[in-house]
Every structure is written in structure tokens, then in C-alpha cells.
Amino acid sequence: MLELDQFRHVYFQECEELLGSLEIQLMALQEGAEADDVIQEAFRAIHSIKGGAGALQFRRIGAFAHNFEALFDKIRSGKTALNPDLLILSLTAFDMLADLIAAEQCGSEIKPGSEDHISEALKEATGNQGESAGEDRAAAGMAASGTSKPVAPVLYRIAFRPSPDSLKRGNEPLYLIRALKALGNLTVTVDQDGLPPLDEIDPQAVYLAWNFELETVAGPDAVSEIFEFVEDDSDLAITTPNGAEIFDDGQSGVSDEASDDGESPENGQAGETKAKLQGAVKSLENSNPDTKETSGRHFGATSVRVDLDRVDRLVNMVGELVIAYSTVLQHVDDRLRLTHPQLAHELTQFLQHTQSLQDSVMAIRAQPVRTIFARMPRLVRDLAEQTGKRVRLKTKGESTEIDKTVIEKLSDPLVHMIRNAIDHGIEPLEERQALGKPPEGTVTLSAEQVGGRIVIRVSDDGHGIDRERVRQVAVEKNLIAPDTNLSDEEIENLIFLPGFSTAQALSDISGRGVGMDIVYQNIQKLGGRVSIRSEPGRGSTVTLTLPLTLAVMEGMIVRSGDYVYVIPLANIIQSLSPRPEEIGTLPDAGMVLRFRDEYVKLVDLNDAFGTDCGAANDNQLIIVVEADAGRAIGIVVEEILGQEQVVIKSLDENFSHIRGIAGATIMGDGKVALILDVTVIGKLGNKRLNASTAREPGETKLQELCA
């Protein structure tokens, strides 16, 4: 018995792609596209979802997709015209289908019958109200196979004269005879009357006819099924001993054209059938945009579907390889270069290959941002509808590629940003008209790769950020002191402060009550940065800067006390060795550094993690990093050991979460270095928090970890 579970994975993966494609087509239709290929593509997606569901016996999905498919079948054949109502129905059906698939995938339960009203609406729109549940089931692959087998063997007499052409089409009568033989006791008599003189024989033609006597327990269906492919163009008669004819076509060598002409007995409505046939030809041929076929018969442009787990494993293995390589590199010193120049040379080659291997492997997991951008038009449309505003979405750079793991985590922040832009950025219709702006607001979503990072921007042409208001809220929320002197940019970026968005006036309209701080936290987790720039009356732009991948990171390796840390290079503004007069003490902030005409807080890692070894260090170095919301802090370290590409390993799997530590990496010498979470480090410094004085429940103490 075939184990269907093994195909679940590939099916759901396929569904994800098909639903994505279907959504794009539906949105295109929404925007007024009327091209046949859009409808054809939508139909194909639903059809494939249904096909897989049928094969895997996901009956609910299959039955629902069947009704959905029927609607698009009518639309593509031109029998039903697509109108706004049908489009809304299609979008609703799309959501339902996605829900049904998601439920099947997670093993969760959607209340039985919750899709019924949509199914009914689909049937009504298709004109299939009368369609019975039985047909639904059949379509969903629940064919009630009830071939009852007679207990006692029955004798069938079969007269079979295949069409002379049957071999040319790949129907080998010998195989049919063998299949008959497999059913029971077979007696074969050959009729050679049709055999022409030897010199007239066409070796490709069939001249023989057979008479069979088959004694079998198999039912008549099983017997006639054997001739399924040849019955239309052969002479075939099957009778049981009691004389009942179970098959007799009474035709001999009737060509396809002839049967189309309505000569066959079961073809009463020849005209209609022919019309259907032509319709079918048309719709099938429409779907074959290969009439030109200039591309020739190469099959290079194929893709391979690989389980993401396997890719992850590969990425990890390559990560280990990079580490192993670094270890080897430790031994390549000048002496080795002198004694074994060839070996040193080969190792350099090895480095290059390792690096390009790493790049190639990372590229496997890369996906175009299109996969998430494509979901946004729908969101914009829904939000515009909810808020009564008119909004247009422009997208740029959809083909920019990012690591799949980043893409997945990017979706939520992006939704929030667009939500914010429409809720709070774009003005209501009347206000825009009063301001002399075009009534339709524009939200622009763009992606581009800048160096090793991806920059994603969401801009709107709304009223921008009300700085006074933001400042006021921040003061009310005790996030800043009333007399704090802040630049415009700093005020704008206050909206990313945790807790800011609970200021309801600015974010509750969206109904979710979550705001930019959520965006910020998520992006930070991805090793990215967020900032906002706004021009009053002209709109705002939120900029996300993300690493290309989450698995590897450029870091600066530093030492503080006995510990080695990695500071993400992306966060570093400058490293310096300060003059004594540049360092001061502020009563409420502790040590500060004068840096570019501002004071930045200093955080001593030994202090922050309570790892003080007691030895005062004279030659301090300070790494100035960008912490939260554009604010800088200075991290005090003793030594900079170098700059390296490190492979990020999660600590949370083995240890509970440690504040200030984002992960760990294994250094070239095999030792563990901790990767700093600079956002939290800033807070540790803020509160002068020592690991010895305050620990959240479940936190691991650093010493325990490195002991």
C-alpha cells in the first residue's frame, strides 16, 4: 500500500507556491487585467491544488477546490463573465482555500461546514447548484469503488480484432493478452484470416484477431478495463456464458473522425460534443504558449526541489568548514611560508574555494523578495477599503534576493510598516483634496542590495510625522525628559522606542494596537536596523537595513577580561582609543565619551556581565556602536583581536536566553566567542545593571556559560 504521508510535504510546498501564484493572478484581475493567460494561470493553480488534494485524499480541500475550479473553468471558457462580485467571491474562496490547506498542514481543525456557504456561492455562480455531493466527492477522489467480485469463476468469451494501426500508437495486443491471462484461465484462438500475402505485409500493422475464453473471478469491469484503450477502434465483443453482452461496439476500425461525426451509438448530441471538443482543444492549446518553440529542446532551465532542512544542514556544514579552515589558517605563519611555500600557497587557494563555496551555498537559500512583496497589494487593497482611503502601491526591486530565513521573518514587519503608512501616513480623501494633493495616496515599497546588506524602504506621500505630537507622547510616557534636546531625526525615531506605540492615539486605528516598536524589535533580531525620515506634509520613509543572511556575519573580535566577544560589524560606527579628557562622568548616566560633539554612554563589558577580573586596564579601547533607534553607545574593551566572518550559532537551544548576548561562534582556535546584542548592552549600561545584581528568571549567568 502506498504511504501517502510521504507526499504531504511536497504537496504543501507546492500549495504554497500555487496559492502565491493564484493570489497574484487574482490581484491582477482586481486591477482590471483581462488577459486570458491571467485567468488560465489562476485556473491552473486551483486545478493543481485540487489534483494533489485528490491524490493525497485531502477530501475537504479537494471538494472545495473543485467548486472553485469549476467557476474559473466557466470563466476561462467564456461562459461566465468575470464581474466585481465574482472577484470578491474568488478572493473569499481563495482565503478559505488557504485556510483549509493550512489547517490540513498543521493538523488543526476548521469547523466542519464552514466553507459550505462559499461552496454554495461558487456553485451558484457556476450554475451548478444541482451538482450533488456525490459529484463533489468523486471530484475529490472519493470514487466509490465497488467492483464486487463474484465468488465463483465466470466464463467470458471475447472476440477481439484490434485496429491494424494499434501498434503504431503503442498498443501492443500481446500485452493485453498477457493482462487477460493474469485474470484467470485463458484459452486463446488466433484468427489469421486477415493476414495478407507476405509481400504486402506491413510489419507495423496488426492483421490478427483473437478469440478468448477467460475463466475468472474478476468482475466484468476488470475484464473490459483491459480493452479500455483499444475498445474504440477495435472490433470487440465480450459476452458472459448467460449470453449477456457486456461490451459490443459493433464497429470495425472506426476512425476518430468518424466517431466525431456522430455515427457511434452513444453519441446522440454529436454537434454539442464536437463543439465541446473544439472548446477543449482551444483551451488546452491556449495554455500551450509554445507554438513558436524557438528555444529548442534543451532542458537546462529546470530547477530542483530540495527540502529546506537539507539546505540548512548544508549551510551549517559549510559554516563548520569555514571554521575548520580558520583553524588551519592559524598554523600558516611566516615560518611555514618559508619552509613549505607550496603548502602555504595551496592553503590560500583553499581559502578562495571555501569562500566561493560559502557564497554558492548561501545563494541556494536566497529568494527574491517578490515572494513577500506579492502579498502586499492585497493588504493595501484591504486596508484602503477599511480606512476609506484611496491608496496605490508601487513596488521596486522585487527580484532582489535575500536568504529565505530572513524573508520569512521580514513579512510581519513589512505588514506593520505598510499598515502604519496607510493608517497614519496617508490622509483621508477630503483632507488630501483640501491640501491639493492627488486624491490617491501612494505607498512605495522598494528593495535593493547595497554592499552586503539589503535595504528595504516603505515610503508614503502622506502628512509625515507630527514631531510635536511624538515628542509630547514620549514625554507623557516618560520615555524622554521634557527638556531633552533632540534633533528632528531623533524625535521621529522615538516612535521605535519600546512602549511608545501603546500611546493609543497614534496606533490603535489599525485595530491591532501594535506599532513600530514591534517592527523594530523584529528587525533587530534579524541583525538589521530601522530608521525613519519624514518631511511634514510630504510623507515618511521607513528604511530597513538587513543582512543578506542570518547564518554568517562580519564581526569585530574583541577581548575584555578573559572573555572574547564578537561585535557585529554592521553596528559599529567607529573604534577609537580615547584621550583622557574625552571621557567624563555624568551623574545619571555614568561614564560618557565625547564623540562627534555628543556624549555617548560607555558600557564596560566586565561591568555589564559581572565578569570583572579586578585588574584595571589602562589602555582602554572604545568601540562606538549604533544601539537602538540610531542612538550610539560606546563599548569599552581591552583589545581588538581582528575582524572575521563568523558563523552564528544559537545559544538559546542549549542555554536559556542571556541578555546582551545574541549568539555565539566558534573561533579559529576552537574557542567560543559570544556575539554581543548591542541593543541590550546599551540597556545593561543604562541601568548600571550587573549580572550579579539583577537577573531575570531563567537567565543564565555568563560565568556559568563560559566556565
Partner 1 sequence: MTRRVLAVDDSPTIRSMMDVILTEAGYEVLSAENGRDGLGLLDVFSFDLIITDLNMHVMGGLSFIRHIRELKRYESVPVLVVTTEGSEEIKELGRSYGATGWITKPFEPEKFLGAVNRVCPIEEPKAESG
Contact stretch for partner 1 (CB under 8 A) within 272-280, 378-386, 394-402, 592-600: 272-280
Shortest spacing between CB 371 and partner 1, in angstroms: 17
Q: Should residue 67 be labelled a site residue for partner 1 when binding is judged by CB under 8 A?
A: no
Length of the chain measured in residues: 707
CA atoms within 13 Å, Cβ hemisphere of 204: 4
Q: Is 183 in the site for partner 1 (CB under 8 A)?
A: no
Q: How far apart are CA 558 and CA 381, in angstroms?
A: 49
**DSSP single-letter state for residue 3:** -
Give yes or no for residue 117 binding partner 1 (CB under 8 A). Answer: no
Tell me the closest approach of the beta carbon of residue 48 to partner 1, in angstroms: 5
Q: Does 282 bind partner 1 (CB under 8 A)?
A: no
Which C-beta is closer to partner 1: that of 58 or that of 565? 58
Q: Going by C-beta distance under 8 Å and a sequence separation of 6 or more, which residues neighbour residue 622? A: 575, 576, 577, 578, 593, 602, 634, 635, 636, 637
Which residues are 444's β-sheet partners?
394, 459
Contacts of 517 (CB under 8 A, 6+ apart): 495, 496, 497, 498, 499, 500, 501
Longest dimension (CA), the chain: 116
- Complex with partner 1: residue 306 or 435, whichever CB lies closer: 306
The CA–CA distances, whole Å, from 612 to 560, 562, 604, 703 equal: 9, 9, 9, 11
Task: Give dist(CA 421, CA 424) in Å, integer.
Answer: 6
Contact track, partner 1, 25-44, x by CB under 8 A: -------------------x
63 binds partner 1 (CB under 8 A): no
Answer for which of 20, 30, 51, 467 binds partner 1 (CB under 8 A) is 51
The mark string for 595-634 relative to partner 1 (x by CB under 8 A, - otherwise) is ----------------------------------------
**DSSP code of 83?**
-
| Alpha-carbon span 662 to 550, nearest angstrom | 12
Per CB under 8 A, does 14 bind partner 1?
yes
> Judged by CB, which is closer to partner 1: 280, or 613?
280
CB of 222 or CB of 640, closer to partner 1: 222
Residue closer to partner 1 (CB basis): 171 or 679: 171
Is 47 or 370 the residue whose CB approaches partner 1 more closely? 47
**Residues of span 399-418 touching partner 1 by CB under 8 A:** none
Please identify which residue in 5, 34, 200, 228 interacts with partner 1, judged by CB under 8 A. Answer: 228
DSSP 8-class letter at 522: H
Q: Does 179 bind partner 1 (CB under 8 A)?
A: yes
What's the CA angle centered on 553, arms 552 and 558, to 5 degrees?
Answer: 130
Cell output for 689 = 545593571
284 binds partner 1 (CB under 8 A): yes
Residue 354: C-alpha distances to residues 327, 351, 362, 592 (Å)? 13, 5, 12, 42
288 contacts partner 1 (rule: CB under 8 A):
yes
* Dihedral (Cα; 238, 242, 244, 250), 10-degree rounding: 50
Cβ proximity to partner 1: between 180 and 532 the closer is: 180
Q: Containing H/E element for 14?
A: helix 8-30
Residue whose C-alpha is closest to residue 705's, from 611, 629, 625: 611
The answer to whether the beta carbons of residues 20 and 270 sit under 8 Å apart is no
CB 677 within 8 A of CB 670: no
* 79 forms part of the interface with partner 1 (CB under 8 A): no
CA distance 667 to 351: 16
Per-position x/- string for 289-328, each x denoting binding to partner 1 as judged by CB under 8 A, each - no binding: xxx-x-x-xxx--x--x-----------------------
Q: Which of 33, 281, 363, 481 binds partner 1 (CB under 8 A)?
A: 281
16 binds partner 1 (CB under 8 A): no
148 touches partner 1 (CB under 8 A): no
Among 117, 149, 168, 657, binds partner 1 (CB under 8 A): 168
Counting contacts by CB under 8 A, is residue 693 touching partner 1?
no
If binding is defined by CB under 8 A, does position 98 make contact with partner 1? no
Among 39, 56, 593, 678, binds partner 1 (CB under 8 A): 56
Answer left, alpha or beta for residue 108, where phi above 0 means left and psi between -120 and 50 means alpha. beta
Distance in Å, CB of 577 to partner 1, minimum: 58
- Confirm if 600 and 622 have CB atoms less than 8 A apart: no
Nearer to partner 1, 227 or 565 (CB): 227
Q: Is 689 exposed, middle or buried (0-12, 13-18, 19+ CB in 10 A)?
A: buried
Are 540 and 467 a contacting pair, CB within 8 Å? no
DSSP 454: E
> In terms of CB distance, is 6 or 352 closer to partner 1?
6
| Residue 270 in the binding site for partner 1 (CB under 8 A) | no
With binding defined as CB under 8 A, does residue 175 bind partner 1?
Answer: yes
Cβ atoms within 10 A of the Cβ of 510, count? 17
User: Which residues are bridge partners to 457 per DSSP?
Assistant: 446, 543
Q: Which of 213, 232, 466, 490 binds partner 1 (CB under 8 A)?
A: 232
Pairing mode, if any, of strands 590-595 and 598-604? antiparallel
**Residue placing its CB nearer to partner 1 in the complex, 133 or 615:** 133
Site residues (CB under 8 A) for partner 1?
Answer: 1-2, 6-7, 10-11, 13-14, 44, 47-48, 51-52, 54-57, 62, 138-141, 143, 145, 167-172, 174-179, 188, 190, 204, 225-226, 228-229, 232, 256, 259-260, 273, 276-277, 280-281, 284-285, 287-291, 293, 295, 297-299, 302, 305
